[in-house]
Amino acid sequence: DSGVTQTPKHLITATGQRVTLRCSPRSGDLSVYWYQQSLDQGLQFLIQYYNGEERAKGNILERFSAQQFPDLHSELNLSSLELGDSALYFCASSPSASEQYFGPGTRLTVT
Amino acid sequence: QQPVQSPQAVILREGEDAVINCSSSKALYSVHWYRQKHGEAPVFLMILLKGGEQKGHEKISASFNEKKQQSSLYLTASQLSYSGTYFCGTEDWDNYGQNFVFGPGTRLSVLP
């Protein structure tokens, strides 16, 4: 158990809908990263937050947005969902640049 | 641009050594290594910053040659628990900011 929690574990929704994925980092970790893993595209970095501020951005679509709240939990919002958005979404938290701890992931299925 | 990993897959017997390579066409700031077992989340192994450092943890070590824009992961005296898919992630900076991209992965199978 990495200490990072993600909810929900599974999510099934229809095209065009909007969902929110939640991540609670390990106690004391200020950085949160979001990743997408699909069979087609492999593992992709989406975005990083550090203490509430956006730190780095990867291949995150405009339909996706994220934020980190004062209590350091983070949410990833996915809107106007398409079939291709079906994937595993991981978050990871980090106390520093030297290590990252991954949560168990949220499996999103868009039908 | 996605880094290239080689080999795509490797099968070992317990106790054998393996090397996984990761190369990029870009000037890199850092390289990260992860291992992911089937059905599980990736596990962060190590990060190497530019400067040509080498890091190690027990029998897994890595090197980063920034001139050649490549990193290698060394698995020594492999154990059954080393089986999984290994990903490298490369970090570079350009006029638009930071880029972080994962390689396609190398599937490692360690047999008894």
Q: Are B43 and A102 a contacting pair, CB within 8 Å? A: yes
- What are the tens digits of pLDDT across the range B5-34? 999 999 999 999 999 999 999 888 889 999
Q: Are B3 and B88 a contacting pair, CB within 8 Å? A: yes
Q: Are A12 and A33 a contacting pair, CB within 8 Å? A: no
- Specify the pLDDT at position A39: 80
How far does B46 lie from chain A, in Å, by closest CA?
A: 7
Distance from C-alpha of A64 to C-alpha of A74, rounded to nearest angstrom: 13
- Specify the pLDDT at position B57: 67
Q: What is the mean pLDDT of residues A2-8?
A: 95
- Report chain B's C-alpha Rg in angstroms: 14
If interface means Cβ-Cβ distance under 8 Å, which residues of chain A face chain B?
2, 35, 42-45, 56-58, 90, 92, 97-105
Instruction: Please indicate whether, in this complex, the C-beta atoms of B102 and A56 are within 8 angstroms of each other.
Output: no
- What are the tens digits of pLDDT across the range B85-105? 999 999 888 877 778 889 999
pLDDT band for position B49 (50/70/90)?
Answer: confident
Asked whether residue B54 carries a pLDDT value surpassing 90, the answer given is no
- Specify the pLDDT at position B92: 85
- Specify the pLDDT at position B56: 66
Asked whether residue B53 carries a pLDDT value surpassing 70, the answer given is no
Given B32, B99, B104, which is nearest A42 (Cβ)?
B104
**Chains A, B: CB pairs < 8 Å:** 45
Asked whether residue A86 carries a pLDDT value surpassing 90, the answer given is yes
Instruction: Please indicate whether, in this complex, the C-beta atoms of A102 and B105 are within 8 angstroms of each other.
Output: no
Instruction: Please indicate whether, in this complex, the C-beta atoms of B42 and A42 are within 8 angstroms of each other.
Output: no
